Amino acid sequence: MKGLLIPTAYVLFFSLLIGCGKTTTISSNMELTGKWQLDSIVQEDVIIKKPATTKGVMDIGLNFKEKGELEGTTSTNILTGFYETAQQNTIQLGGGGTERAETSWGNLFVNALPNVNLYDLKANKLILYYDNGNQLIFSRVQ
């Protein structure tokens, strides 16, 4: 009897996982795939615009690749990692890179990125939400 209970529990769990579409994880989202450049950050209803380009400072951006791969640039560093999206516009980002010599703009981005949990796509704009409604607002590149 005990030997039958464990396989039955696995079948039941797997059936529930498949049957409930709202929890199915999608490794990538074709509309999200591509390069995005950070335009502004909204923190506590204050809009912080992208500063003027400075020599030696990169544009901050993310490149969502197929199969859940993620690449990005901060103001002075490179990021690599992964992303996963699910229904209801949830998103999980992970990965890392160095944080050497970041500008204040770069630090805002680097500190916000691990807390992103929702996204929204609108007419070549990507909004990543974090920490109770704060936003990273990107424009599609290319």
Q: Classify residue 1: in a domain, yes or no.
A: no
Q: The domain that contains 68 carries what CATH number?
A: 2.40.128.270
For the chain, what is the domain count? 1
Q: Is the pLDDT of residue 101 over 60?
A: yes
**What residue numbers bound the domain in which 134 lies?**
23-140
Q: Give the side-chain half-sphere CA count within 13 A for 52.
A: 2
Q: Classify residue 52: in a domain, yes or no.
A: yes
Residue 9: the pLDDT is 35
Residue 109: the pLDDT is 94
Q: Classify residue 107: in a domain, yes or no.
A: yes
Q: Classify residue 6: in a domain, yes or no.
A: no
Q: What is the pLDDT of residues 1-27, one digit of tens each?
A: 545 444 433 333 333 333 333 333 444
Q: What is the pLDDT of residues 29-85, one digit of tens each?
A: 668 999 999 999 999 999 999 998 888 789 999 999 988 999 999 999 999 999 999
Q: Classify residue 88: in a domain, yes or no.
A: yes
Q: What is the pLDDT of residues 109-142, one digit of tens each?
A: 999 999 999 999 988 999 999 998 999 999 999 7
